[in-house]
Structure 1
Amino acid sequence: MTTPTGPAAPEVLRYTAFSADPAGGNPAGIVLDARGLGDVEMLAVAAAVGYSESAFVTEQDPEQRRFRVRYFSPLAEVDFCGHATVATAVALAERLGEGPLLFETNVGEISLDTGKDASGAVRATLTSVPTHTRPATDAELDAALAALRWSRDELDAAFPPHVAFGGVEHLVLAAGTREHLAALDYDFDGLAEVMTRHGWTTVQLVWRESPELYHARDPFPIGGVVEDPATGAAAAAFGGYLRALGEIPASGSFTIRQGEDMGRPSTLTVSAMPDGERIRVSGTAVAI
């Protein structure tokens, strides 16, 4: 890979991931040539763009379809971001042609497959790093529930609170009803403090409509954003969580609907890899 000095004012693309409609999904800024940009410059670009994350291709080998990618929220670098990964993969596939890609990230190598779906939209499927999950402690749960203004009796007892990892960590909490999930109104600063203390990237709040369909909301105050409309990293972590609980459907895949309560509907397709460790997350992305 090469790392020559890039342009002083990089071109920033804007794509939305996990939707074929520019009005849906989760927007991401993309700098396809961030060679020569330092941390301060990338953070400044991400802050100016204002999306939950922007992706920066800092090294590239187009012939081998291999890229070094870093992610920044408006406030800080994020080790891994699923929706910006999908958006960047689609943007590259549109320029290089469809096929496999490999992203080197802070959490390891992320392999991707890109191609057109039945509707003609470009779809990217990422394969996560190995996932793992553990029960949340009482102290973690109590602090998070207080900031969310939720109580234990409002949770779905079938899904124990866990801290799940799919590249970064997310607290997973299942609401007992769809109405409770829709009524989310949390303490922004309080939840940011809890998440910062425990190293969580988002809180993955879910409700199960069926074994094949979940609804999710993901507060992201540590990134300066109230809520993510689609969170690929959390979807990977959640897939690992469901596999640990034995809740992956017989088909091996399920769908997450996210962003509906904030007017940016998103669809994430999640499947378990046969290796028992990795999760695949798939979605479309389009330019805004």
Structure 2
Amino acid sequence: MTTNAPQPEVVRYTAFSDTPDGGNPAGVVLDATALDDSDMLAVAAELGYSESAFLTPSPEGLGGQEGRTYNARYFSPKAEVPFCGHATVAAAVALAERIGPGELVFSTRAGVVPVEVAQEGGTIRVTLTSVEPHIEEIADADLTEALAALDWPAADLDPAFPPRIAFAGARHLVLAAATRARLADLAYDFARLEALMHRLDLTTIQLVWRETATVFHVRDPFPVGGVVEDPATGAAAAAFGAYVREFGLVPADAELTLHQGEDLGRPGRLTVTLRAGDPRVRVSGAGTRIS
């Protein structure tokens, strides 16, 4: 894209909320054919959202979805990320308003992500199905550094939730707080945490607190994207679903509710669905247009 080329149309949607002032906002470019990597990064940086989605219609029709298959790329203000859940939801809502609800397929850098869009009354709800997840241990020294950067004493962790790196399209370090007050008190060393996350190839830190057997409150520092905190994180929700299943912390068939963004004044609600015998994780939420 040259300086004289037409500027791409950018629409703005929020994900995991049915009101514009909740959830996580994302920029969406529905046809990024004319954009190169530097163009997409520039658009994302100008928007300043934690991530923006850039779609290109795909002629392959993956999964039999001819005309509803897209190559999807995601950029934060500082870098490309392999997969972004909230920008997927935002893009799917934008598409549904133009081509109707139904099934979509997003081909991402992390893999193929099926997406289902449904109209429920006046609300559009999106369900994405993650790529196959996996869980990794974290070295003791790296965990110590993460806690130091967060200024979280190890004693403030919930011992029922062992620290691990979880992947369901992007890598996230899962740390569980023992109390809601610990989760609410988030004032971390941005540069120090960013350096560790780059070294471990982490997208966010998934901080969680368990309210009930199936209800959690979560927060996601995102310094590697140039953002202090992500208001609602679909990729991390998928990774967390895989994590709790790995450790038997929820039943094999489970529907979890994740509340995120409350501490930022942008409340969002993410639904995580686990199915026995299916390793992939489903993440659902509402979305709506901002502008």
TM-score bucket of the superposed structures, by smaller chain: over 0.9
Structure 1 partner of 2:222:
220
- TM-score of the two chains, using structure 1 as the length reference: 0.95
| Percent of aligned pairs sharing the same letter | 58
Q: What corresponds to 1:47 in structure 2?
A: 45
Contact persistence 2:245–2:251 (CA under 8 A): no
Residue in structure 2 matched with residue 201 of structure 1 by the alignment: 203
Q: What residue in structure 1 maps to residue 109 of structure 2?
A: 106
Aligned match of 2:148: 146
Of 243, 252, 260, 2:245 maps to 243
Query: How far off its partner does 1:251 sit?
Result: 5.3
In 2, Cα distance between the equivalents of 1:251 and 1:212? 11
Could you say which residue in structure 2 is the equivalent of 1:3? Answer: none
Q: What is the 5 A alignment of 1:1-288?
A: 8-61=6-59, 63-117=66-120, 119-249=121-251, 252-288=254-290
In the TM superposition, residue 252 of structure 1 has moved relative to its aligned partner by: 1.3
> Which segments of structure 1 move beyond 2 Å, counting only runs of 4 or more?
58-64, 248-251, 273-276
CA distance in 1, matches of 2:151, 2:266: 24
Distance in 2, matches of 1:262 and 1:81, equals: 20
Deviation string for 1:240-265 (max 9, x for gaps)? 00000112247511100000001000
**Following the alignment from structure 1 to structure 2, what is the Cα–Cα distance between the partners of residues 211 and 50?**
36
Amino acid paired to 2:228: V
Q: Give the aligned residue type for 1:157.
A: P
Letter in 1 for 2:57: E
Cα distance between partner residues in 1 of 2:58 and 2:7: 18
Superposed CA offset, 1:215-272 (max 9, x none): 0000000000000010000000000000001122475111000000010000000011
C-alpha contact 1:212 1:249 (8 A) present in aligned 2: no
Note if contact 1:37-1:58 (Cα within 8 Å) is conserved in structure 2.
no
Kept in 2, the 8 Å contact 1:215–1:258? The answer is yes
Shift of 1:139: 1.3
Amino acid at match of 1:17: A
Deviation of 1:148 (Å)? 0.2
Superposed displacement of residue 86, structure 1: 0.6
Q: Please list the CA deviations of residues 3-41 of structure 1 after superposition, one character each: whole Å capped at 9, or x if unmatched.
A: xxxx63001000000000100000000000110210011
CA deviation digits over 1:75-120, x for unaligned, max 9? 1111100000011011111111110000000011000110022x42
What's the offset of the Cα at 1:60?
3.5
Alpha-carbon distance, 1:63 to partner: 4.4
**CA distance, structure 2, for counterparts of residue 245 and residue 276 of structure 1:** 16
Worse-superposed segment, 186-195 or 55-64: 55-64
Unmatched tracts of structure 1, length 5 or more:
1-6
3-state DSSP of counterpart to 2:77: coil
Question: Structure 1 CA distance, aligned partners of 2:97 and 2:57?
Answer: 19
Alignment partners' CA distance in 1, 2:55 and 2:265? 30
**TM-score, normalised by the number of residues in structure 2:** 0.94
Deviation at 1:277, TM superposition (A): 1.2
